[in-house]
Amino acid sequence: MLALGKLLELTLAGREPAEKTQLTVEGVRLRWLAEGALEVQPPEAHDNGTDLLLSAGIHGNETAPIELLDELIHAIARADLKPRARILFLFGNPEAMRRGERYVEQDVNRLFNGRHRQSSGNEALRACELEDLAASFFSIPDRYRLHYDLHTAIRGSKIEQFALYPWKEGRQHSRRELARLQRAGMQAVLLQNTASIVFSAYTCDKLGAQSFTLELGKARPFGQNQQVNLSTLKSSLVQLIEGTEPVSDDQLDGLQLFSVAREIIKRSDAFRLHLRDDIENFTELNKGYLLAEDQADSRWVIEEEGARIIFPNPKVKNGLRAGILIVPVTDEHLG
């Protein structure tokens, strides 16, 4: 196996490879760009015009998708997997990965779309570097741009594997991409309706990619992901990489769709979220339930029919999202 196939090993050790560019026996070029960043280029005659960005480790303790990307990189470096797409593999927060922590000082996934310019420190610099790497990768015109940012969640979930579809003004949702997500094992998709500061929102809004955040189960340490079944996603990614996807009729039968009703923003240290610490994502909340309170008599009371909560986290910094209220929708909302 080529040495650059050991990107995860290099990243966890904090080492640069001696050789920055290597070729497989099939003529696939692997190029180390920066810490945790590897570009894969198929031979020109086999290039199908797809640019695929696969990122993981934006939160350093979300190890299952990191291990999945490591498996794909190994397979490419051994020439067992023969790409027809250009690929950029990114391990987002190397220092947090080495520590086994979600982040060191700041949540990197709250520093995109220029938010890093309002901050300082190594993680703000890393968010800037990730934006630059993605922008450079997606700079070639007339190619199909796709980004999957792979995560696992802090808590358990009633729907274990789901995707978040970033909002972009004036752009309709793609049935093709929703069907692709369903084939990849996603049971639900959250259709967002406001701008965001996460990585997939940046590549969607600023770089014109079809971009998605994929939540793939609960966060666990390296080597302890036996309960996280990513076999369906892996098979789908292999087909994407090799250009062997089956022809799809874009039917969405069985895929659950949700829309954002409200975001719960923590304004002060007085914020209180009235939920159990172990509550699962997609837990349904009854109308009239007092969900949260903050200073100046701010109150969030459930008004929506069928409302559910995802990503509840009262420990975020003031000014950030402490949870999202979502409601089910039909595919008639896709436009």
Residues belonging to the active site: 215
CB distance 271 to 292 below 8 Å:
yes
CB distance 322 to 312 below 8 Å:
yes
* Nearest in space to 188 (alpha carbons), one of 261, 255, 253, 233: 255
Counting every residue, how long is the chain?
335
* Nearest in space to 86 (alpha carbons), one of 36, 52, 55, 56: 52
Cβ count within 10 A of residue 89: 23
CB distance 62 to 98 below 8 Å:
no
Cα–Cα distances in angstroms (integers) from residue 5 to residues 29, 59, 172, in the given order? 11, 22, 37
Give residue 272's Cα distance to chain centre.
28
Burial class (CB in 10 A: 0-12, 13-18, 19+), 220: middle
